[in-house]
């Protein structure tokens, strides 16, 4: 990955994301935040980043295999 983030970086981003939702819903209960995020289909940034990275690597691998087959 060109610009990888450490686990600490991802945790900090997730913390800020959850803090935003705590302010939005005016609650200090993280379970309320998690249920609300789940209800609205919102994933943590670390989860989204991981899935997009996996998808990119899979697509890039397929393209690289195709190019090798053509050469």
Q: Is residue 50 within 8 Å of 18, Cβ to Cβ? A: no
Tell me which DSSP letter residue 25 carries.
T
Q: Where are the domains of the chain?
A: 8-70
- What is the reported pTM? 0.76
Digit-by-digit pLDDT tens for the chain (71 residues) are 456 889 999 999 999 999 999 999 999 999 999 999 999 999 999 999 999 988 888 888 777 776 777 76
Tokens 């945790």 belong to 11
C-alpha 44/C-alpha 34 separation (Å) is 10
């Amino acid at each position: 990955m060109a610009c990888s983030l450490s686990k600490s970086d991802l945790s900090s981003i997730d913390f800020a994301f959850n803090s935003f939702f705590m302010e939005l819903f005016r609650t200090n209960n993280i379970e309320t935040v998690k249920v609300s995020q789940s209800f609205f289909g919102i994933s943590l940034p670390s989860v989204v980043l991981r899935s997009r990275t996996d998808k990119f690597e899979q697509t890039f691998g397929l393209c690289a295999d195709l190019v090798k087959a053509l050469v």
